[in-house]
Chains A and B, each alone.
Chain A
Amino acid sequence: MQQIIALLVENKPGALMRVTGLLSQRGYNIESLTVARTLDSTLSRMTITVEVEPQTRAQVIKQMNKLVNVLQATDVTEGPSVNRELVLIRIRTTQSTRTAILKEAEIFQARVVDSTVEGFVLEATGDPEKLDEFLDVMRSYGDIEVTRSGIISMPLDNKKLRLSPPVPRGAAQEEVLEYQRAE
């Protein structure tokens, strides 16, 4: 079953590799992946769509949460969330199809971002299923070229972010045991 995982990670080299490595080492194929900076430029928000066997789902999330660079990993599939994707389509047109294509685009609330005599580039956003339908419709007008952004996700319930506070450096080993209160 498809699992959508939302992650908040430190914006550091290798952070993405660590997260995707947990999936590839189990032989899971990533369906889509988006990463971008958050308001805080030291952090990135990541959304991964991946096919994971049901019995390993919780384990994968736990392993992600163990990564030093990961502040939070959440299984979005579990709770209510808004999932959106953006698609860009290049479609070739003829005199006779142009109007019809524009009409269809309007139905899907797609925008024309480039228009030439050969055709259009259309932009549409929506939930992934709706975009699939849009692509099916557009394909009926001929060959299309497609770039999809991959899913970005916003959970509707606000999960509390628990971060570890700084640890003063003192007598190394003692302090390691003294600290450790973050639950």
Chain B
Amino acid sequence: MSSNLLSGARILLHCLASENVECIFGYPGGVTLPLYDALYDHPIRHVLVRHEQNAAFAAQGYARATGKVGVCCATSGPGATNLVTGLVDALMDSIPLVALTGQVPTKLMGSDAFQEADTFGITRSATKHNFLVKNIAELPQVIHEAFYIAASGRPGPVLVDVTKDVFQSQSHYTAVAEIHLPGYRVFSEGHSGQIRRAAQMIWEAGQPFIYAGGGIIAANAAGEFRSFVEAVDAPVVCTLMGLGALPADHPNFISMPGMHGSYAANMGMTHSDLIIALGVRFDDRVTGRLAAFAPHARVIHVDIDPAEISKNRHADLPIVGDLKRVLPKLEAELNALAAELREKNSARRQAWWKQIREWKEEHPLRAERSDSEIKPQHLIAEIDRLSGGRAIVASDVGQHQMWAAQLIRFNEPRLWINSGGLGSMGFGLPAAIGAQFARPDKLVFAVVGDGGFQMSIPELATIANHALPIKIVVMNNGYLGMVRQWQELFYNNRLSEVALAGFPDVEKLAGAYGFTGRTVEDPHEMPKALEEAVHTPGPYLLNVKVSPFENVFPMVPAGGAIHEMVLRPPQPVAV
């Protein structure tokens, strides 16, 4: 124990440092003044964003790119409420995040004080857990508990609301020796009997199909997963959150499944007799009409969260555990079973693979190209070419996100950074900032639409301040493309409030922030323009005018079964 008194603000920073926090994304304000005063000469790096929502998104980008806990910080009232979208986003995608917010002084709480909001109440359902600290003695314990809860089990966001007087008051600092949360259970090992039965089921199946999700990436289990896939030798689909769990170039990888999944992915799911579901939650965007989803399959479901088991689809064999622990055990059980059992279905499995390959060849995911205009898929294919499966791609939400998920190869986990569950527009640019801070060695693309980009334009200043070499590629079709696609297909082509007129001149826009911007419209120039963006040091804003009415296919209409997908535009596109 140190004999020196420390302020609450210093104790907080001390705790962050002991949690190995390198970087905080935040925005100061009235009640966090004491905290920012302590930060002034503290080694922890603070990145000043231009809006608190983007602090949460940037912290997520950092967390998604590394697996470490992202940290964001905001003041009371509007600062805290602006974080909320980023918190819910992290909750939906199971991203470890600690959000620190200031609260008005304890004696003013409940008095409608300036910039007072019930942050603890507002963020209750936006977080995995939240804390309100009114007593400096609790502060270190709470901070360490927050990090522990955020990172362990099924990761998620944790908010700590700290009153201004706690920041200001003085106390002795005592290191926290242990975390004691008697009601917080983390299931890790997996039931050995269940794992043995799962191995049996896997060899008994003739059409096994692996449905892999973000849980594999959250568990840092990509290596274990690859080894498991090769032992089972079944086709693999990775969900929007799971892309990169298996290298896209791996022979067993099919594509993303679901609403905009490939024909082979959805047909495979539908005709499988055993779905091996790993770290997934049977989201409606994957399953389509649940009653028609994988109707012939038994389901093995491995997840660290017991509440996911049989939530949407009944699990014939549930295993609650950490995939990093469970997958090697499952693989060992597979290998331990008698060779005759393992070989029993090899003929059926060969036929199954043949069928899968036929489906793949029948309707491959193909990047359209044109001589007269830039097809959005062509742009995405060029990004893929330059990435070579190794660049970080932070995406926004909409059509470009789906094309990127379909066509960009991710050969490592934590390269594909997108808002999957919540679908928050405005996510891409700040998430790219967080990812670039986390991985300065990596080429980072922010692939955004003209809609989402305009939601986070202020962050161009953050990018410029730090000369972050992010390559911002705006896929500009002049529309809120995905909403327009639905209006075209399901609302009689009545295009209501989806045209985005008045997109700024990017040369001037980027120029105003002190970096290069360029617009490209010619399909023959586009690949070179993209190369130039990548090879120009520092930030680059490339505005790519793509054909305005291109839509994402295949598509499973809402409420449809996934094998009933629409493979191409049902009619000549609207003009």
Chain A residues proximal to chain B, CB less than 8 Å: 9-10, 13-14, 17-18, 21, 25, 58-59, 62-63, 65-72, 162-169, 172-173, 176-177, 179-183
Which A residues are CB-close (under 8 A) to B121? 17
Q: How far is the CA of A66 from the CA of B152 in the complex (A)?
A: 13
Closest to B310 in A: A58
The 9 closest A-B pairs by CB, nearest first: A180-B188, A62-B307, A166-B180, A163-B182, A71-B183, A166-B178, A180-B186, A176-B152, A68-B129
CB <8 Å contact, A177 and B182: no
Known contacts A13-B132, A21-B124, A180-B152: A172-B187 contact under CB 8 Å: no
Which B residues are CB-close (under 8 A) to A13? 132
Indicate whether B189 reaches chain A with its CB closer than 8 angstroms. Answer: yes
Closest to A10 in B: B183
Indicate whether B524 reaches chain A with its CB closer than 8 angstroms. Answer: no
Task: Mark interface residues in B173-195 (1 if CB within 8 Å of A CB, else 0).
Answer: 00011111111111111010000
Which A residues are CB-close (under 8 A) to B352? none
Interface pairs (13), CB distance under 8 Å? A9-B183, A10-B182, A14-B130, A17-B124, A66-B306, A67-B183, A68-B129, A71-B182, A163-B183, A164-B181, A164-B185, A173-B151, A181-B188
Which A residues are CB-close (under 8 A) to B311? 59
Chain B residues proximal to chain A, CB less than 8 Å: 19-20, 68, 120-121, 124-125, 128-130, 132, 144, 147-149, 151-153, 176-189, 191, 305-307, 310-311, 322, 324
Which A residues are CB-close (under 8 A) to B186? 164, 176, 179-180, 182
Closest to B144 in A: A169
Q: How far is the CA of A180 from the CA of B311 in the complex (A)?
A: 23
Known contacts A14-B132, A66-B305, A66-B307: A169-B179 contact under CB 8 Å: yes
Which A residues are CB-close (under 8 A) to B306? 62, 65-66
Closest to B154 in A: A66
CB <8 Å contact, A25 and B322: no
In-complex Cβ contact of A162 among B128, B129, B151, B185 (8 A): B185
Which A residues are CB-close (under 8 A) to B180? 165-167
Apart from A65-B185, A68-B128, A172-B148, what 20 extra A-B contacts exist at CB < 8 Å? A10-B182, A10-B183, A14-B120, A25-B125, A59-B307, A65-B306, A66-B305, A69-B183, A72-B183, A164-B181, A164-B182, A164-B186, A167-B148, A167-B180, A169-B178, A177-B188, A179-B188, A180-B189, A181-B188, A183-B189
Q: How far is the CA of A13 from the CA of B177 in the complex (A)?
A: 24
Q: How far is the CA of A17 from the CA of B16 in the complex (A)?
A: 28
Closest to A24 in B: B125
CB <8 Å contact, A176 and B178: no
Which B residues are CB-close (under 8 A) to A67? 129, 183
Interface of B is mostly: loop
Closest to A13 in B: B132
Shortest Cβ distance from residue A62 to the other chain B in the assembled complex, whole angstroms: 4
Which A residues are CB-close (under 8 A) to B188? 177, 179-181
CB <8 Å contact, B184 and A68: yes
Which A residues are CB-close (under 8 A) to B177? 168-169
In-complex Cβ contact of B322 among A59, A164, A169, A177 (8 A): A177
Which A residues are CB-close (under 8 A) to B20? 172
Which A residues are CB-close (under 8 A) to B148? 167, 172, 176
Shortest Cβ distance from residue B127 to the other chain A in the assembled complex, whole angstroms: 10
Q: How far is the CA of A71 from the CA of B184 in the complex (A)?
A: 8
Closest to B158 in A: A68
Shortest Cβ distance from residue A20 to the other chain B in the assembled complex, whole angstroms: 10
Which A residues are CB-close (under 8 A) to B185? 65, 162, 164, 182-183
Which B residues are CB-close (under 8 A) to A172? 19-20, 147-148, 151
Which of B120, B129, B132, B176 has the largest count of A CB atoms less than 10 A from its CB?
A: B129
CB <8 Å contact, B179 and A63: no
CB <8 Å contact, B307 and A164: no
Shortest Cβ distance from residue A67 to the other chain B in the assembled complex, whole angstroms: 7
Which B residues are CB-close (under 8 A) to A163? 182-183
CB <8 Å contact, A21 and B183: no
Which A residues are CB-close (under 8 A) to B182? 10, 71, 163-164
Q: How far is the CA of A182 from the CA of B20 in the complex (A)?
A: 26
CB <8 Å contact, A164 and B176: no
Which B residues are CB-close (under 8 A) to A69? 183
CB <8 Å contact, B179 and A166: yes
Which A residues are CB-close (under 8 A) to B149? 68
Which B residues are CB-close (under 8 A) to A59? 307, 311
Q: How far is the CA of A17 from the CA of B147 in the complex (A)?
A: 22
Shortest Cβ distance from residue B130 to the other chain A in the assembled complex, whole angstroms: 8
CB <8 Å contact, B183 and A70: yes
Closest to A168 in B: B178
Which A residues are CB-close (under 8 A) to B147? 172
Closest to A14 in B: B120
Q: How far is the CA of A176 from the CA of B220 in the complex (A)?
A: 13
Which A residues are CB-close (under 8 A) to B191? 183
Which B residues are CB-close (under 8 A) to A167? 148, 178-180
CB <8 Å contact, B125 and A21: yes
Q: How far is the CA of A13 from the CA of B129 in the complex (A)?
A: 13
Q: How far is the CA of A68 from the CA of B147 in the complex (A)?
A: 13
CB <8 Å contact, B151 and A176: yes
Shortest Cβ distance from residue B292 to the other chain A in the assembled complex, whole angstroms: 18
CB <8 Å contact, A169 and B124: no
In-complex Cβ contact of A63 among B132, B178, B307 (8 A): B307
Q: How far is the CA of A177 from the CA of B186 in the complex (A)?
A: 10
Shortest Cβ distance from residue A142 to the other chain B in the assembled complex, whole angstroms: 42
